[in-house]
Amino acid sequence: MFLYMWVCVAILYIWWKVRDGLRINNITEKYILITGCDTGFGNHAAKAFDKQGFRVLATCLTDAGATGLREATSERLKTIRLDVTNADNVLSVAKWVKGEVGNKGLWGLINNAGIMGTLAPFDWMTIDDIRKPIEVNLIGLIHVTLVLLPFIKKAKGRIVNVSSVGGRVAASGGAYFSSKFGVEGFNDSLRRDMKAFGVKVSCIEPGLFKTPLSDPAKVIQQRTDIWKRLPVEIKKEYGDNYIQIDASKKQKLNQRILNSDLSLVVQCMEHALTSRHPRTRYSAGFDAAFLWIPLSYMPTFIQDFVILRNKVKIPTSGNTTHALRTDVDNTQFHLNNNTGP
């Protein structure tokens, strides 16, 4: 009985691997648009897909980012400035895309543009702190998708939304996680809506990667700026050493789980664009596979226990121990010497 069951499992696995490995043809005739190509995942993806022969339309937030990308790629790749929060800019990019793709349509859209925003307790924040990550990561992503959908439907193409493990488990305060949970919901609804049109929609959930988005020095600076404007009452509730102690704990965790190989995410994008049977979800990174994704399936009380173990106990004492001061000093050293790709 057990042998029969194992044989069935083996046959299903082989069938899945063969099916998963089937690829599309004629990628040199296919147009793909990638947002957020100045640095990080988008930049690496644009270069990789250009080498494969795709006709890459890369959007960048800055002229410097666009120039650097053009210098590192072939003449096939074209760039355009895009701020996903600027509605007029989004519409003008859609018109540009229509002129580029013509009757072929747009085979792939990779919604990669995003920001971290401020990661801090919610009672530190104003509505403006909350609004910006949601406007970029969620509203901007949706707007770009909506204006390009007619071209994607024409090609019966692919949409790849770059979410995060933060869309499965909210490990901290800040609107970043709220925006990524929103991306997950939009992705699922869109996937079901587009199935009838032959458009396949996938979601990528990267773990923590070493990119400018997750630069710890920037994260700490943002928290420090908010701390300076907080009322005295809230500062007393958290304690004078809260930011330093929290930075120390986060640094220790990051050293264990930080991924540096951005190609892991690009490989997910590549499979979603070129497989005949793309997956609905991809996870990338050691921490995603062995910590965050499994944790997302756990009961809430287990999630809370794991996450709160890494939280700072408040209020923090005004007199830190020698060991704590050493941790904070080490953290500051790492932050001052951290450079993103």
- H or E stretch including 58? strand 55-60
Query: How many residues in total does the chain contain?
Result: 341
Active site includes 176?
yes
Beta-carbon contacts of residue 192 (< 8 Å; ≥ 6 apart): none
- H or E stretch including 160? strand 158-162
Q: Render the burial of 34-71: b for 16+ CB within 10 Å, e for the rest.
A: bbbbbbbbbbbbbbbbbeeebbbbbbbbeeebbebbbe
Catalytic residue among 4, 13, 31, 176: 176
Strands (DSSP E) found in 211-297: 281-284
N- to C-terminal Cα distance for the chain? 53
Beta-carbon contacts of residue 304 (< 8 Å; ≥ 6 apart): none
Amino acid letter, 211: T
In 3D space, the residue among 34, 54, 52 whose CA is nearest the CA of residue 43 turns out to be: 34
**CA–CA distance, 75 with 56 (Å, rounded to integer):** 10
**CA–CA distance, 78 with 57 (Å, rounded to integer):** 5
**CA–CA distance, 260 with 258 (Å, rounded to integer):** 7
**CA–CA distance, 254 with 89 (Å, rounded to integer):** 36
Distance of CA 51 to the CA centre of its chain: 23
Catalytic residues: 176
